[in-house]
Amino acid sequence: MHQNKYIPVAEPNLSGNEKKYLDECIKTGWISSKGKFINEFETGFAKYIGTKYALSSSNGTTALHLAFAGLGLTKGDEVIVPDFTFIASANAITYTGAKPIFADVEMTTWNIDPLEVEKKISKRTKVILVVHIYGHPAQMEKIIKIANKYKLFIVEDSAESLGSEINLNGWKRLGSIGKVGTFSFFGNKTITTGEGGMVVTNSKELYEKMKIFRDHGQDPKKRYFYNVVGFNYRLTNLQAAIGLAQLEKINGFVQKKKAIGKEYNKLLKNIPGITLPPSQSWGRSSYWMYSILVDKPYSLTRDDLIEILAKESIESRPFFYPIHNLPIYKEEGSFNNSTYLHKHGLSLPSSVNLSSKDIKRIASILNSYDK
């Protein structure tokens, strides 16, 4: 019997120098967290994002934790974070003893709503954690104004937005706008190292602090002497070898993601009840995960559509739960948009390995239920 090819939501593309660089690690014995690939990966990454410094870490969650530890967050502090994000954004705040305060998102970007941010500011607020979800930038111009007014740091969780840009008197890469930006190189991200992460900043002082925290808290001038309780959050040279090979291909990956977004948009734009992903003139989404909303008058619910796609060997994913409603982070308040997105959102296959034929097959299934 004919079986359709399985199409995952995401899969890595390791067709460049990954194997060659890994072989070099094994031949030379540099397989732990020192070695030339770490330096080359960090330097190349900083250059790509447009910041002075980049510091690799063991994953995107530890990158966030390093950012918050470096900024000195502690018990009694508060961080404003979008209610609609991956759980790591909130957990990394909690690790420091600080409290995440959730703000609803806006429907035009699916990102943190600047008006909600301002409502949630208190005397304890230290940081606004912006998350650029699925590849589309948040409204940084307004958030920068709020941060300046209340003297708050901006941290950009850019795990989902590597290669995305925003126009702030010229186009800038996401992650380079706030005091510090963080990235993830998990297997489904735009570039991958298996597990891995990066923090970027223009502040030498913050970079050095985060580096100390990453390396057990060791005093850089005194071996086995510690002034802070640090962590071991290092990336290995093996992972950085893969990362460097991935970084060599990043322009092609981002271009391909944008082309996938464009093709889906063209094929899905005339279906009543299907909402296309956010697209604002001041932003350039990298379409990390091509995501839509499914609501009436479309003939299927989001959950029915997931099942129908699964029967055709096509993986799709529902959106995150609104975090304020998870038992571990219960918070009262008005979160209409994050609640709506959770109920109606769906991510479609978005890997750079997708063919135009794959996209057409997926879109034709969605179109066939337009009645």
Ligand X SMILES: *Cc1c(COP(=O)(O)O)cnc(C)c1O
Q: Which residue is nearest to ligand X (CB)?
A: 60
Beta strand pairing status for 53-57 and 317-318? unpaired
Contacting residues toward ligand X, per CB under 6 A: 59-61, 85-86, 88-89, 131, 157, 159-160, 184, 186, 197
Closer residue to ligand X (CB): 154 or 366: 154
The upper half-sphere exposure of residue 30, i.e. CA atoms within 13 Å in the direction of its Cβ, equals: 17
CB of 40 to ligand X, least distance (A): 21
Whose CA is closest to 298, among 245, 344, 348?
Answer: 344
CB of 360 to ligand X, least distance (A): 28
Closer residue to ligand X (CB): 194 or 273: 194
Please say whether the dihedral angle defined by the alpha carbons of residues 336, 338, 342 and 347, taken in this order, is positive or negative. Answer: positive
Closer residue to ligand X (CB): 86 or 264: 86
Q: Which two tokens stand for residue 227?
A: 């002034």
> How far is the C-alpha of 92 from the C-alpha of 156, rounded, in Å?
13
CB of 351 to ligand X, least distance (A): 15
Closer residue to ligand X (CB): 218 or 257: 257
Closer residue to ligand X (CB): 37 or 186: 186
CB of 240 to ligand X, least distance (A): 15
Instruction: Let me know: does 157 contact 131? Beta carbons within 8 Å.
Output: yes
CB of 2 to ligand X, least distance (A): 36
Q: Say how many Å lie between the first and final Cα of the chain, rounded.
A: 30
Burial category of 139 from C-beta neighbours within 10 Å (exposed 0-12, middle 13-18, buried 19 and up): buried
Closer residue to ligand X (CB): 56 or 89: 89
Instruction: Let me know: does 293 contact 344? Beta carbons within 8 Å.
Output: yes
Instruction: List C-alpha distances in Å: 120 to 3, 54, 75, 106.
Output: 52, 31, 18, 15
> How far is the C-alpha of 301 from the C-alpha of 294, rounded, in Å?
7
Closer residue to ligand X (CB): 176 or 192: 192
Closer residue to ligand X (CB): 138 or 152: 138
CB of 361 to ligand X, least distance (A): 27
Closer residue to ligand X (CB): 142 or 317: 317
Closer residue to ligand X (CB): 59 or 125: 59
DSSP states of 40-82: HHHHHHHHHHT-SEEEEESSHHHHHHHHHHHTT--TT-EEEEE
CB of 29 to ligand X, least distance (A): 27
CB of 241 to ligand X, least distance (A): 18
Segments in the chain forming alpha helices (H): 18-28, 36-49, 60-70, 87-95, 114-120, 140-150, 204-214, 237-248, 250-268, 302-311, 336-344, 356-368
> How far is the C-alpha of 240 from the C-alpha of 237, rounded, in Å?
5
Whose CA is closest to 116, among 108, 104, 127?
Answer: 104
CB of 75 to ligand X, least distance (A): 23
